[in-house]
Amino acid sequence: MLMNQNDLHVTATLIWYYFICQREVWLMGRQITPDQDNSNVEIGRFIQDNSYRREKKEVDLGHLKLDAMKLENGQLVVAEVKKSSRFAESARMQLAYYLKELKGKGVAARGELRFPEEKRKETVVLDEETEAELDRVERDILRIVYLDLPPEPKKVSWCRKCAYAEFCWA
C-alpha cells in the first residue's frame, strides 16, 4: 500500500501502542481496528464513562481526545483514565504527548493519570527529557507505519488479552 507523508498524523493512541507492541502501531496506523467486542475494550469504555462524573469528559480537540479535564487552582489539569496501572509507562507517554501537543498550541497544563479501580492517581509533567523522547518515538512511529509489511508478531505478556490477537496468532 503506497502512502504519502500527508496520510498519517501521530496520535496519542499510536504513542500508547508504541510502548506495548509495534505491530499494533502498524495495524492502528493503517486504520485496522481491533476487535471492538473484546472484553478489555468494553471494560475500558465502561470505566471511562462511569468514573469522575463531575468533570468535563471526552474532550475533543481535533486529533486530541482527552478523557477528562478540569481547572485546579488556576491550572489546567488533563486526565487520562486507565483500567489499571499495568500499562503505566505507556499511559505516561500518552499523557505526556497530550501535554506536548497542548504546549505547542500555547496551552500550559499538567497531567494526571487515573486508575479508578486501584483508587490511585499519578501526576505527569512534561519535561525536556520526556519531550525529546516523544520526538524520537514520533519519528519511529512514522517509520513503522510506512513499512510495507507489519513488524513480525512477538509473543509478549500483553498478547493474551490483546484485541488484535487474531491479526497475529490466528
Banded pLDDT at 55 (limits 50, 70, 90): low
What range defines the domain where residue 128 resides? 5-169
pLDDT in tens, 128-152: 999 999 999 999 999 999 999 999 9
Contacts of 62 (CB under 8 A, 6+ apart): none
Yes or no: say if 10 and 142 are a contact pair by the CB < 8 Å rule.
Answer: yes
- pTM of the predicted structure, to 2 decimals: 0.80
Q: What is the mean pLDDT of residues 108-132?
A: 94
Could you give the number of structural domains in the chain? 1
The per-residue b/e assignment along 131-145, b for 16 or more CB within 10 angstroms, e otherwise, is: eeebeebbeebbebb
Query: Chain-wide mean pLDDT for the chain?
Result: 83
CATH number at residue 33: 3.90.320.10
